[in-house]
Amino acid sequence: MVLISRILTLPIKHIPLLLTFLTFGLQACHSQKSQSAQSILTTFEVDTFVQSERTVVSQRLWEKVFGNKKSPQPVHVLQGNLDQDEENELVLWIEGDMLGSAVCFDHQVEHWTKLGEIVLSFFHGNNPPSIDNQAKMLLTYDYGWGSGYGSEVLNFCQARNDSLYYVLQLLETETVWVSGSTAHRVIHTTYKVISPEKIEAVLVYRVLAGDDMGRYSGKTIFSQNLVLEHHWDKDQKRFLPAQYPGLTGDDYITDGEFELDALFAEEIRKLKFHGPKWKRRALGNAEED
């Protein structure tokens, strides 16, 4: 209920992203303990998908994997390691105008067992899913959008205890106009796997001058790097951020506007009223017009 009430208080641009996340969480964390026909593929059936990548398989095989009656479409194939053993897992995924689906399978002795299914977002973005073999995770994207706003959120999924879990989200990119000016603020995040229990994210926060600033257009008004550590929590089965000075929660992971802008607000205010003239003007100081 807390998460639902949180969604209802968010700007419209964030609701599609979080609704996708809700669907993602419910499906990706669903345990696949039963060995029904829908959850098992034979080696021959897997070979059919691999050999027919981006072509259309039979209706029977399509329904066995994706569970719907609509006409089959091309299926993309990913193979990589999503858990702690040495064998690769298999990901079969499809794309659509707004949403797609990725179904993950684990290799057993004589068959492949379904680990879980993930909702893919292709609305306001078209990044395909991929597998990071060093991190041993499946990477997918969600998107935020609005007037003068855009973001890409990177989702990390991993197989643990014969099920697929969402284990981390990172705000990979975000752009938003700075209120009262033509400047815009951008965020870009990269990550590094330190160990199976630790992921380090480096977040670069920058404010750039607008296009109306002549020779200063696009120049950096303010820049700050944050190194954010995330540690594995065995009880919650996900990576949780370590406490960072000035940040009270983990909202910055999916939306910088909640906390990061507030974190640097005082430094930006000082530049607007006491910084170099071009920075004061870029940040919308009316006295510099």
Torsion of CA 120, 122, 128, 131, to 10 degrees: -30
Tens digit of each residue's pLDDT (9 = 90 or more) over 156-166: 999 988 888 89
Report the chain's mean pLDDT, rounded to a whole number: 83
Residue 98: which residues within 8 A CB-CB, separation 6 or more? Answer: 121, 122, 123
Q: What is the mean pLDDT of residues 46-61?
A: 85
Among 117-121, 155-159, 254-258, name the one with the lowest average pLDDT. 254-258
Q: What is the Cα–Cα distance from 273 to 106, expressed in whole angstroms?
A: 58
91-128: string of b/e by CB count within 10 Å (b at 16+)?
A: bbbbbeeeebbbbbbbbeeebbebbbbbbbbbebeebe
Task: Judge if pTM exceeds 0.85.
Answer: no
Q: What is the mean pLDDT of residues 149-174?
A: 91
Most confident range (mean pLDDT) of 87-101, 226-240, 250-264, 270-284 is 270-284
- The end-to-end CA distance of the chain, in Å, is 48
Give SS3 for 213: helix
Q: Report pLDDT for 160.
A: 84
Q: Which of 129, 128, 172 is nearest to 150 (CA)?
A: 172
Q: Report pLDDT for 161.
A: 82
Residue 167's H or E segment, with its range, is strand 163-177
